[in-house]
Structure 1
Amino acid sequence: MIFPTPAKPAEPAALWRGLYGVMTLLAAEVFLAVPLHKLFVSFDCWQNWGAAICGPLFASKVSIYTLVPCFVLLAMLLSPERKALTQDAALRPLPLGLNLAGLVVFLLPVLWLEDGTGTRFLWPSLIAWGAGMALAGLGACLMLAPSARWHVLLRQRGGVLALCLAAGLAAPFIAQNAQGLWRIQVLSDATFHCVVWLMQALGYEVTVNFPERSIGTEAFRAIIAPLCSGIEGIGLITFFVTLYLVLFRRELRFPAALWLYPLGIAASWLLNVVRIAVLIAIGLGGNPELAVNGFHSHAGWLMFTLLALAIVLLARSTGFFLAAPAQQRRPALPFLADPMVAQILPFALFMASALLASTFATMPALVYPLRALVMAGGLALFLPYLRQITWRLDPLALSLGLAVGLVWTVTAPQAAGGDLVLAQALAELSMPLLAVWIAARMLGTVVLVPVIEELFFRNYLLQRLAGKETWRIALALLVTSGLFAALHDRWALAFVAGLVYGGLRLRSGRIGDAILAHMASNAWIAAAAILANDWSLI
């Protein structure tokens, strides 16, 4: 597949001076400012300044978190206005100076904030944060567009921008008052009664305490708290359906596609009932630790993943939801010959294997050979597609991949308790079983995982999110790198690695370069893990 490129390619230097450079700078500032406050400031706001100050500060953070996606979505929807606004975006000296000065001022409290100082630095900190955000924001706006263009946008779309701003300001109030949704009595009661009915229908002899919402026996008893009502899963599936409708809006028929909302919500709630019933059954079966620490922690995500895949499959295979009538659509490719399926299904199997291992195994890492078997089987289904990929030994991709692996191993933290338990469990295996485990771990880490992750993140997602405009390519790179980082414990370094792999994909248009770099990174890390006998590196 060929990655879409702009109709009139710009010179690399021009891209970095333009919108691409501005957005990259702003993203870098965000990823710098947040970790600096987290890592270098030991300061409990609530204990030192009290609720009267920290409450509004927290509310302002919620507002910012709401405004950013609102304005990003608005920029995508108002494409003509956005293009007119940012056509001359550049890292101009004066706005850039204002922006960087604002960042420095915003970071000043890092120098003096620490626990035990009370309110001594309250006003200097508030002034620094307020002035810093104002200066940085003003500089960012002027880098994106001159003031005259902002005036034009405000005249044309001021009402819509005001609604976004109002949504951001109202978000903390809505979030605070929406906490009651976690205790929707009707939903909570319905969940509990359905769980009781299901357990009794399955033949379990359980005692039920309706006032405290508990069910079980003397050996194992589960309390179904209001948080277990299913509202969290309903919220997640609602967000997923919304994202799917936005990304695939051209392929879907509206308003028919809106039926995915009630279908997804109903299925999510029913699966939550099943999840709780299975958890209780596992506990009653003599495995309370697996029920509480394994199944309870991961079954929700497993069922959400399965439901999300089912919704996509339903929407793509049912003419009721598709934009064109069945007779007008092009003949569908065979399932295993569809490039989109080749990019998504192996990743879905990869994630499902991780969730199943975490849900049903007391030590998930020990069953990695089974996961490797699932991943290899998933890729084997698409060997014709994999043969079409251009494979070549690109020196830059190889060098950058090894550099990522080197940084990953050099900055690795010491092994935690869970890693020591794994090391002990591996030491107790027989030599043949240990050899099988190590071989499967190496195959999965060095070969299978890089292919699966790159096909999904840098081939499918990056291609789906990016367009011809430079800003969309930059945004797609940031989003896919962020999602890639979310799969890793060391998310900051994983985000940088995602940028490297994505940059290689954009540079050449070949997914093979990104896969090669990822393989090189993981090969270096795997070699270090073997030499140090430290599997926590992987």
Structure 2
Amino acid sequence: MSATVNIATSQSAARFRSLACWGLVIALLPAEMIGLTIRFDMASLGAHTEGAWLLGQSHHLPRVAIASLVAMALFCGRRLRDALIEPQGTQVAWAYLLGHSALFAAFFLITAALVEGAGVSPFASRVLLAVWAATGAATFGLWVATVVPPRLWRTMGRDLAVALSVGLAFGIAAWAAGQATNLLWRPLGKGTLYLVRGLLSLVTRDVVCRPADLVVGTAKFRVRIAPGCSGYEGIGLILVFLSGCLWIFRRTLRFPQAFLLLPLGTALIWLTNALRITGLVAIGSWGSETIARGGFHSQAGWLAFNAVGLGIIFMARRSPLFTVEAQSRNESSFTSPTAAYLIPMLAIVATTMVTGAFSSGFDFLYPLRVPAALLVLWIYRRQYADLRRTWSWGAVLIGLAVFVLWMALEPLHAESRSETALLDGLRRLPRGWATLWLIFRVAGSVLTVPLAEELAFRGYLIRRLQSVHFLSIPPGSFTPLALLGSSILFGALHGRWLAGTVAGLLYAFAVRRRGNLTDAVVAHATTNALISAYVLINGSWSLWS
């Protein structure tokens, strides 16, 4: 029995090391692209060679690549994942990696010659361009061979070809759609302008509208309908979101009726965009111009997107017109384990977006996040069997380690705009209200945030990445891919990729020690308590901004 456990542990460790190396190799190509951009973008601005022009057009490639990768993951991800996580598929092909590195060095030098070279004849320049393109293609090809060794190409050739074809088609289509918006945004912007004018005329006669330069508002506060305000960005986002949902729920949705959700979402997001601009003008004219230009302008769009997107999916899942087995209206969502683990964090996020929309840098309504989260946690309290009433000093030590790591990786910078806004906001509040705000800020950091985030990431996501029935996975049991995926997303949520990702890894191991989700909550609460103490003692408000 012991020998069997040792063999399984050894195999798991070897597989984890292979997957870690594989993940680093996958991250290598984006890192190289970023390095090239940083090195040559500024140099190409003042150059007038064909090479500089070509490099100037290369900013389209990352957009196509990102859209292609998303499409590949969405439509073909499961088949590729099953092939690539096999033991023979997780070994890094070091010879190809060395070849890729050598070719990338050559590609770097050729790029430098194209952008910064002088006195090169037109013929030599064209030859150099051809060599540059061939070297770039070969560099990319060896990177692909590193990730998917050629010995696997025959066994997974069909899946790989389908994935690449689908991904490339969607990537090019997404890029073409983006280019088309440059031509279509002005007619759409005019439609938005006239709709906003009509909505404003319902509440005031003091309406200013200049279609020639797309300006609308009142005599006191006016806005210009820029491309981003015309509505096409929201339409694009909602179409991508709903298309993904149609694919994810394809086995339970009724087709072709489900395709009606796409024009429905398009119309609703355009209307809510017009309502957003109308609200912006109203707040700027009869409320606070600072709030209108600050929090409301930045948050209202995302509020509209979430309301429309999630509202349509909620409606579709309950409607027999769109869903084969629609959820009964009498069926209580309070019994849903997924909702129990996710809604506490979503309540905090939603409250943050709403209160942020009515603030100008300093969110004086932050205290509302605490009761919002506590209310949801109380409603679902019977669903949290994973939260046992026990804890360990080991969890506290893990929280301390994360605090030390977080502080070590916190960038040293001058006072930021958000930090200044926080300080100014506290100073403007009466002393008693400022003290109350700080109490709720600490309570949110130490109590509600650790509970909500650990339920979402270590309670739900890390297990959902292993099984649709996530409760069948014991707390603390995870695969390397689930561990890395949930931790990277945790880091992204906090805006500090490295520190947040490592913190997610350590909190996951806090659960693994005893199979107790409460240990992750205690570790997280310890980290946040120490950060709060550091902020209050040293005045390092950037940690809260």
Above 0.5 in TM-score? yes
- Give the corresponding residue for 2:16: 16
Cα 1:162–1:366 shift into 2, 3 Å: closer
| Amino acid corresponding to residue 358 of structure 1 in structure 2 | G
- Give the corresponding residue for 2:3: none
Distance apart, 1:237 and its partner CA = 1.5
- Give the corresponding residue for 2:5: none
Q: Is the 8 A contact 1:85 1:150 kept in 2?
A: no
Distance in 2 separating the partners of 1:408 and 1:104: 36
Distance in 2 separating the partners of 1:302 and 1:449: 21
Cα 1:493–1:431 shift into 2, 3 Å: same
Q: Is the 8 A contact 1:195 1:274 kept in 2?
A: yes
Question: Paired residue for 2:538, among 512, 532, 538?
Answer: 532
Question: Paired residue for 1:153, among 147, 151, 156?
Answer: 156
Whether 1:426 aligns to 2:414 is no
Distance apart, 1:281 and its partner CA = 1.0
- Give the corresponding residue for 2:61: 60
Unpaired runs of 5+ in structure 1?
1-7
Cα 1:138–1:528 shift into 2, 3 Å: same
Q: Is the 8 A contact 1:446 1:523 kept in 2?
A: yes
Distance apart, 1:441 and its partner CA = 0.9
- Give the corresponding residue for 1:140: 147
The residue correspondences of 1:117-266 to structure 2 (distance < 5 A) are 118-119=116-117, 132-142=139-149, 147=151, 149-154=152-157, 156-157=158-159, 160-161=162-163, 163-164=165-166, 166-167=168-169, 170=172, 174=176, 177-180=179-182, 183=185, 185=187, 187-266=188-267
Q: Is the 8 A contact 1:252 1:322 kept in 2?
A: yes
| Amino acid corresponding to residue 140 of structure 1 in structure 2 | V
Higher mean Cα deviation, 440-449 or 316-325? 316-325
Whether 1:354 aligns to 2:352 is yes
- Give the corresponding residue for 1:389: 387
Q: Is the 8 A contact 1:389 1:512 kept in 2?
A: yes
Q: Is the 8 A contact 2:193 2:216 kept in 1?
A: no
* Deviation per residue, 1:349-394 (Å, 9 max, x gap): 2112111222111243332222223222232322222465235435
Q: Work out the percentage of aligned pairs sharing the same amino acid.
A: 29
* Deviation per residue, 1:257-302 (Å, 9 max, x gap): 3332222222111111111111111122152222122211211011
Distance in 2 separating the partners of 1:308 and 1:509: 36
Tell me the SS of whatever aligns to 2:209.
strand
Distance in 2 separating the partners of 1:531 and 1:110: 48
Question: Paired residue for 1:364, among 362, 365, 368?
Answer: 362
Q: Is the 8 A contact 1:182 1:229 kept in 2?
A: no
Tell me the SS of whatever aligns to 1:202.
coil
Question: Paired residue for 2:499, among 481, 493, 506?
Answer: 493
Unpaired runs of 5+ in structure 2?
1-7, 119-124, 469-477
Distance in 1 separating the partners of 2:493 and 2:260: 31
Cα 1:498–1:288 shift into 2, 3 Å: same
Whether 1:435 aligns to 2:435 is yes
TM-score, normalised by the number of residues in structure 2: 0.80
- Give the corresponding residue for 1:5: none
Q: Is the 8 A contact 1:406 1:524 kept in 2?
A: no
The residue correspondences of 1:470-485 to structure 2 (distance < 5 A) are 476-485=482-491
For these two proteins, the number of residue pairs brought into alignment is 516
Q: Is the 8 A contact 2:454 2:520 kept in 1?
A: yes
Cα 1:218–1:279 shift into 2, 3 Å: same
- Give the corresponding residue for 1:342: 340
Bigger relative contact order (CA 8 A; separation at least 6): 1
* Deviation per residue, 1:426-451 (Å, 9 max, x gap): 24544432331221111101121122
- Give the corresponding residue for 2:405: 407
Distance in 2 separating the partners of 1:411 and 1:105: 33
Distance in 2 separating the partners of 1:518 and 1:365: 23
Distance in 2 separating the partners of 1:112 and 1:509: 54
- Give the corresponding residue for 1:4: none
- Give the corresponding residue for 1:451: 451
Cα 1:443–1:162 shift into 2, 3 Å: closer
Tell me the SS of whatever aligns to 2:216.
strand
Cα 1:534–1:161 shift into 2, 3 Å: closer
* Deviation per residue, 1:29-58 (Å, 9 max, x gap): 467656766889995443457642313532
TM-score, normalised by the number of residues in structure 1: 0.81
